[in-house]
Amino acid sequence: MSNPLCHFEFMTRDPDKFKSFYSTVFNWSLDDVSMPGYTLINAGAEPTGGMFPTPENVPAGCVNVYFMVENIEGTLENAKNQGAKILINKTEIPHVGHIAMISDPEGICVGLMQSGG
């Protein structure tokens, strides 16, 4: 199985400015209703994306990417064995599946997503 890019998301200090900028520049459709506290982004083609306010304990906004995996627990174990740090353990996203986040040996954050329940 390949592990395609399946989702991207932005953390931003100014959600209203973000929404105005990206919906205007890229003509993205934004949905604030389906997942309260999280803005879904329809960029017009796969992958889809999202946006949420940068948590207070995070020093700056950023962009996260998620790659699809068949077995998130196995992938986390494999990544750990290769020198990654687990930043977010397997976490359920209702009606979507599970996500996790790792930091590779250089410190680059990468998200994992396993579809389904």
Condensed to tens digits (0 to 9), the pLDDT of residues 83-95 reads 999 999 999 999 8
Condensed to tens digits (0 to 9), the pLDDT of residues 34-85 reads 999 999 999 999 999 999 999 888 888 889 999 999 999 999 999 999 999 9
**Structural domains in the chain, sorted by start:** 1-60 (3.10.180.10), 69-117 (3.10.180.10)
- Which pair of structure tokens corresponds to residue 16? 């209203």
* Amino acid identity at 41: I
**Cβ of 52: how many Cβ atoms within 10 Å?**
16
pTM: 0.86
Is it true that the peptide bond before 55 is cis, omega within 30 degrees of 0? no
